[in-house]
Amino acid sequence: MAVRTVAACIFLSTLQAGSGLAAPSPQACQAQASERCYLAFDLPGQAGRMHFYASQTQASAALRSVLLILHGHPRDANRSFNAALDAARRAGRLDDTLVIAPLYQVASDQAQRCSTPGTPLAEAGDALWSCSSWLAGQNSQAGPDRPAINAIAALDALVAHIHARWPSVQRITLAGFSAGGQMLQRSIGFAKEPPGGVSLRYVVADPGTWLYFDPLRPQPQIGGADADWAQCSDGACQFRMRLPEQASCSGYNDWKYGTQALPAYLAATAAQARERYRQADITYLEGALDNHAGKGTSYGALDKSCAAMLQGPFRRQRGEAYAAYAAQVLQPPRPQRLYTVPGCAHDVACVLPSDAARSVLFGPRP
């Protein structure tokens, strides 16, 4: 039996008794991502398995919170897990917070196009997406004996699995960085209600693009007059919302940028999703230096389609504009605040462990 398979199974008490193998100590999985902390669970409807890293593999009454981090386009679940561990360590929260980092798998022959060193390859029975389909919430690959499951429903299933495996957990903070931030932000309005006794918080960090719930898009302003996006690099702009000329950007309000032409597999209407998003506990994070096309911003991977450019030229400007849209148009009952992280460009290992992100990610102990 492979070490990874052992790690995925030894948590279960029935298998533990017969395996003769001890579960890794809590300290081992609180140090860094490793195969012994790489677990799996079955997705509903026989859609396959999904893997995730976990900072503890056994239930403990001390675990009251979860920090779940969604990886970026390189599917760097290991690096994202390590960044979240670093954040929890600096906050002094490793004792009561379980760190989770799921991995959206792709077929092995595609993995080189969207992986980072150390990303585990897919195993037999894993649910598979493409390099771009998971971040848009799309379906996994179906087979003769395997139905598809969309990426949002898979995340719902992981939340339910966490509740079943670690029943003492009362609060789950779902954070997403870069492409993971895209997927998470789009999932919020279409997610299932959490299990009873569990509250959900969301932290959307440095996504490339955003889901708007109205056809309005941001126009930057300075001193009440319309301004050029180039003037907004250091948070100097305010924003008004306007209707762009659709003829110049056909389909700009279609999914995944807007709520027109929603895929049939999403479990809500546009109106329902908008209201769920309004009511959710959401915070936004942006790296202060993720505001240009230079080194450290992964600008080459940034979506530059017409629909994306209507949201702004760079990630920080797009995030600031979206926070203004949420405040002006969505008007949520709980403010959805944006925090800028000084000294960070597009780097999960800089943003998550930062002082600016700490209270956002953890908050008071439940």
Q: In what order do the strands lie in the sheet with 225-226?
A: 225-226, 217-222, 238-242
From the list 173, 4, 152, the residue with the least C-alpha distance to 78 is 4
In the chain, where are the structural domains located? Answer: 26-173+346-366, 207-336
Question: Distance between CA atoms of 242 and 222, rounded to whole angstroms?
Answer: 16
Q: Using 50, 70 and 90 to split pLDDT, how confident is the model at 56?
A: very high
Confidence class of residue 24 from pLDDT cuts 50, 70 and 90? low
Using one digit for the tens of pLDDT, what is the confidence trace for 267-292? 899 999 999 999 999 999 999 999 99
Give 226-259 pLDDT, tens digit per residue.
999 999 999 999 999 999 987 789 999 999 999 9
Question: What are 97-109's pLDDT values in tens digits?
Answer: 999 999 999 998 8
CA torsion angle for 321, 326, 330, 332 (degrees, to 10)?
-170
Q: What pLDDT, on the 0 to 100 scale, is given for residue 7?
A: 38
At residue 11, does pLDDT exceed 70? no
Compute how many other C-beta atoms are within 10 angstroms of the C-beta atom of residue 47. 22
pLDDT at 144: 86
pTM: 0.92
